[in-house]
Structure 1
């Protein structure tokens, strides 16, 4: 996965991540957005899902955006 593609996937994940009530829901929503973003740009969907899951949990747990 190129740096450019990873950056786009991370930005899409952080920008579009919908927070859930639990960490599992936050990870799942982030993973879906990350996988979809990398699929659009012909990247590695598995890597996009992992990056998205981490990003989804991070933004919901460490910011006031989801509270």
Structure 2
């Protein structure tokens, strides 16, 4: 029987919602969009890698945002 980890599911849903809502900002610069997308992807990755840890999600978002910001240089 499969158990559902609600902490992990809620973190992934929150990060996905953030990415989708921020992608609707069409007047953002390319750097801003890359930063937001990187932060969303990092949050999802951090959440998955740390089994839904809040600190892992925030850390992943921070690292992903920095990487997304640097890619557009």
TM-score range, shorter chain: 0.3 to 0.5
Give the structure with higher Rg (CA): 2
Question: Structure 2 length normalisation: TM-score?
Answer: 0.37
What TM-score comes out, normalization by structure 1 length? 0.39
